Amino acid sequence: MSRHSKPWVKAEQKLGFRAAGLPIGLGAAGTLCALLQAASAARLLAGVLHLGVGGWALAAAGAGFVAAALARAYLALLAERQNFELGAAARRRLRGQVLAALLGLGPAGLRGRHSGELAATAIDRVEAMDGFHARWIPATALAVIGPGLIGLVALHTDWRAGLVLIMAGLFVPFAMAVAGIGAARAARRQFLAMTRLQVRFLDRIRGIATIVLAGRAREEAAALRLAADELRLRTMRVLRVAFLSSTALDLAAAAAMILIVVRFLGVVRGDEALAPVALFMLLLVPEFFAPLRAFAAVYADRMAVEAVADEFAALPTLAPPAAPAEIRSVAAHGVLLSFDHVTYGWGEGKPVFERLSFRVGKGEILLLTGASGAGKSTIMDLVLGFLEPQAGKITVNGASLEALVPAARAKMIGWIGQKPVIFAGTIEENIRFGNPAASAAELEDAVRWAHLHELVNSLPQGLQTKVGEGGFGLSGGQAQRIAIARAFLKNAPLLLLDEPTAHLDPATERDVLESLRHLALGRTVVLATHSTMAMDFAKTVGARRVDLDALRYTSWRE
């Protein structure tokens, strides 16, 4: 665990203890029931062995044992349910934070991050936190409370035997700490091996056709097998180190049992009335070590947190906007998008564009042209909020883009890229992604204006036809029409089109542009393109143009 991740772990630990009050209290009540159960069991055994207990005392001991056992089982059931809820709530919170951070970074902020690595953070690493909140935090508190209560009772009953118990109990944390150092390192290596396997497997599944055509299937299968074997070996190392703490605990419990037996062996022979006391102290040994054993069983969960903490600590913290602004009368007066002397660059080199200024209002179309790398997609990312300008200001209806609440910004912007995202599901589900609450009539209009009705009518299941992940089963033009129908259904006043006709044949491009002509009516549109046909389309609708090649590294104002 690195230095910058320690505050994150401490914060999670503080949140966990704050939420775990009820299960910890239930566990402490269970410890009190265990004491009553041990005392009752000691008197029962003394009665069975004819060591001075009988009659009503024996019956009372039997009733006390049954009542304590039932109460203890019920408390354990309640605690287990509460622990599950703790883990589930923590996972929901953490997964929400991870997804919010990834969405806040956007495509620009996630460049260079493999999707398999991101999926491992959002799924596997979040799941690894379940044991920390559901088991380790309650077990940590009970590992102090339980032995503390039992140790006080043991000292009050027989101070010599109580001292033996406490000394044996103090040995356990030291042994676990020594084992924990190795367990933390092994857990980190295990998660690293698991992430590598996930990334490699996802890459190979995506490129399965290339692998088969290149005749590399056998070599790639062997490489995956080696990666899986590495994960198996690292997992076994984690388990091997974890067993060391369990062994130390068993040794401490055995030593305490032997010393207490030696302590009472001669005493009971001289006075049988002390038999219940001796039996009670012997029965306290497993009860004393039970919370410590439970803590040792979940100690690996704490090590798992140290292994994944760096990933969570590295995620950005999304601060709420300082002064949320309201978009005034967007539907009535449209959207005025303005760039005022905006500068943005990647890394330490020259900026992509410098002091860029333009304005585009309702019903206007702005055409962005320029060579690859001129900054067309960067402008789109700036408007979407995935990037922040290094200088200058972007405003919408006079309000700073950074001051808008994310929900308002997302509602007012429609976006169509060159490769639209199509999810596994039906065509209708993919279109309704833009507006799940849309009516059937609105859905039908969106399908018609996107020129998608011919495709839908030709399919036996129509809109209920299922498509594969990434639009598997659809052509590029069909996927683009679904994206246009989605934008129609969303009905956002500001429309961003980033190379919407790239990789389409001329006939399909012409149809898509005709759909975009209807979509652009009454909307503020920013269109980035290389296509000659798209440029001709922009001219016919009276679009203005910003040539980023001419503006690059220069100051320009409309």
DSSP code, position 320: P
Q: pLDDT (tens digit, 9 = 90+) per residue, 195-237?
A: 777 777 777 777 787 888 778 888 888 888 888 888 888 777 7
Using a pLDDT cut of 70, give the percent of the chain over it: 82
Tell me what pLDDT residue 331 has: 43
Confidence band, pLDDT 50/70/90 cuts, at residue 555 = very low
Tell me what pLDDT residue 182 has: 59
Tell me what pLDDT residue 11 has: 84
Judged by DSSP in three states, 507 sits in: helix
CB 471, CB 422: distance < 8 Å: yes
Judged by DSSP in three states, 370 sits in: coil
Residue 336 pLDDT exceeds 90: no
Higher pLDDT, 476 or 391: 391
Tell me what pLDDT residue 403 has: 76
- Three-state DSSP string of 107-171: HHHCCCCCHHHHHHHHHHHHHHCHHHHHHHHHHHHHHHHHHHHHHHHHHHHCHHHHHHHHHHHHH
Q: pLDDT (tens digit, 9 = 90+) per residue, 258-313?
A: 888 888 776 555 566 677 788 888 889 989 998 988 887 787 677 777 767 777 77
Tell me what pLDDT residue 179 has: 61
Angstrom CA distances, 181 to 13, 177, 186, 250, 303, stand at: 19, 7, 9, 20, 9
Least confident of 440-444, 465-469, 546-550: 546-550
pTM of the predicted model, to two decimals? 0.60
Average pLDDT over all residues of the chain? 79
Could you identify the residue written with the tokens 């069991």?
Answer: 41
Residue 328 pLDDT exceeds 60: no
Least confident of 139-143, 299-303, 412-416: 299-303
> What is the Cα–Cα distance from 356 to 366, expressed in whole angstroms?
14
